[in-house]
Amino acid sequence: MKNDLIARYIYAVTRHLPQKMQADVEKELESLISDMLEESYGAKEPSEQEIKAVLTELGNPDDLAAKYLGDEKKALISGVYYFHYKRILRYVLPFITALIAGLSILNGILNWGTFESTGEIVRQFTFVPIIEAYQAAVSIFAGITLLFVILERKKTKWLEEEFGIGNDSLDNLPQVPGTAEKISMWQPIGGIIGVVVTTTVFLSFPQIIAGRFSGVGWVSVFNVEVIRSLWLPILLWAAIHIVWEVMRLIEGRYTKRLAVIGVAVNVAIAACAAFVLASGAIMNPEFIIQMGNVLPPDPGGILYLMFGYPNLFLLGGIVLALVIDSISGMIKAFRTRVRIY
């Protein structure tokens, strides 16, 4: 039976399920709804009101999805939130933990000449990477858990006001998206990994962003102390970005509301990026001096901007990427969609 309301209801249930479950659950729900309609109203073509009555009897799509997931009784995080929570931790935690250990080892290599004893070298390449990776894993786990606990507590308001599901009205079920309208799971998860990596490098290992000069050695691009003094806007930048990616993961499709929110989020991220990167104080004076010695005498040239003041070049790249992302989200959300059932 092909019906727009039934298709939207089934989509509202299955969109939060693991991909390997979706096809089976979709077939099961189609069969169940067909049987319920026939049992209640006979073999005739059901009316819209009769379909609504059956779907109302089946219950809230979010609650039904939670039952299929088997996680509806979790204490702090339940249902579809618990599924996405596990998904993020499964992919983000191992990657970030290994990356932090690798960055710690790289930092040790760059500072090899500063070690005064074999014991210090052993400590830098064994205990330090393990400790720093463990601390990072605990911090990420705590942050993501806190975020999903907050979402769980705000579940009803979030679903009703932001995405139009989770309430008693079947009129607010989400439209079934076309293939091009879906947001791949890997987009938001990749975004979360990217922002965690960037934040970790800036706050914990800014010294590894360095250039090597003949006769001088490695020189840090940024002023380490200044960067670490900007921890609040950097963490705010990361938090806004992570919340946004979680929203995209939960929604799973491009919508007009999500596109508008995305523009606001990108403006906030651009503001944080400008606050952190626009000031010349963030640059290491020694790096600027060394670059001045090797670059051609052209202060207004693109090479001078790229390599002499990479903070401004990086800021420009971030703003450009945010503008493109906002426009792309708007186009995907507001374009005309035609479906045949």
Q: For the segment 55-64, what is each residue's pLDDT rounded down to a tens digit?
A: 888 877 877 8
What residues have CB less than 8 Å from 259, skipping those under 6 apart?
A: 326, 329, 330, 332, 333, 334
- State pLDDT tens for residues 214-244: 888 888 888 988 988 888 999 899 889 988 8
User: Worst-scoring range by mean pLDDT, 163-167, 177-181, 206-210, 313-317?
Assistant: 163-167
Q: What is the pTM of this model?
A: 0.65
* Beta carbons within 8 Å of 299's beta carbon, 6+ residues apart: 308
- Is the pLDDT at 31 greater than 90? The verdict is no
Q: In this predicted structure, what is the pLDDT of residue 203?
A: 84
CB of 129 closer than 8 Å to CB of 97: no
Q: Residue 264: how many CA atoms within 13 Å on its side-chain side?
A: 8
Residues 6+ apart with CB under 8 A from 4: 339, 341
Residue type, 278: A
**64: which 2 tokens?**
């039904």
pLDDT at 75 over 60: no
Per the CB < 8 A criterion, the answer to whether 197 and 99 are in contact is yes
In sequence order, what E strands does 48-144 have?
Answer: none
Stretch 117-134: mean pLDDT: 83
Q: How many CB atoms lie within 10 A of CB 232?
A: 11
* Average pLDDT value for residue range 298-317: 73
In degrees rounded to 5, what are phi and psi of residue 193? -60, -45
User: What DSSP element (H or E) covers 212?
Assistant: strand 210-213
| pLDDT of res. 160 | 47
User: Does residue 266 carry a pLDDT above 90?
Assistant: yes
